[in-house]
Structure 1
Amino acid sequence: MATWDDVRRIALALPEVEELGTYGGSTSWKVKKKLVVWERPLRGRDLADLGWTEQPGPVLGARVPDLGAKEALVAEDGVYFTTPHFDGHASVLVHLDRIAVDELEELVTEAWYAAAPPMVLRRHPR
């Protein structure tokens, strides 16, 4: 299963990605100031909305291409989920300790394509 070291390695291998700390001490990876993936500890409201008493492990936030992709991932297999905080936003939450490294690599790469501005995409086409 994946770790934060895997996220860091995969994200920083993508063009023009930088790693940044956030105000809460979490880490995010951005391309031209656009979030690609980020560490997303669950807040009290998130836990209440999910009916959980505590965070079940590390949680990664990731951009996705659109709401349809989000719905498909969340419907899949218990690796991906969302909270009302992210309603209407093209991103998913990921149980990091439940995702295989190769699937994480695909997710982070797709998140990069979803977040990268057009000028960056032109410099680094698929």
Structure 2
Amino acid sequence: MKKSEVPQDSSNIESTNMRELCYATDDKGNYTTALSSGWEPKTIALSNSIEEIKERTEAARQQVINNEASPIVYFMELNKMDVGILAGYVGMWQWRIKRHFKPSVFAGLSDKVLKKYADAFLITTEQLKKFKG
């Protein structure tokens, strides 16, 4: 794409006063960089992704309220993590983390284990323990 054709559509990036770096060709056909404020297909895809994340976070919150899941599930979704990513942060096996999703198991976790989760979620242990949705 030519430098003059780099998309400048309204997007979420534009509202943050940021621009995305793109590669384009100049008048002589040489590759150069150009700044873009957005591109409609990408904006749509990002908006859909953000909406899906919000829905999953709300579903996790409802599971905590209904005592179907521990707060770990909610904070994992809120922080855009999956079990594999969380396992890396807390240094535990994935099967163990999944076990901690059960409210009854979560209630018996030691402060040491809860601190690992709290640190991964950038919250305090108390916030994690007391979260009720």
Normalised by the size of structure 2, how large is the TM-score?
0.23
- Relative contact order higher in (CA < 8 Å, ≥ 6 apart): 1
State which structure, 1 or 2, has the greater radius of gyration over its C-alpha atoms: 2
User: In proportion to residue count, which structure has more helix?
Assistant: 2
Normalised by the size of structure 1, how large is the TM-score?
0.24
User: In proportion to residue count, which structure has more strand?
Assistant: 1
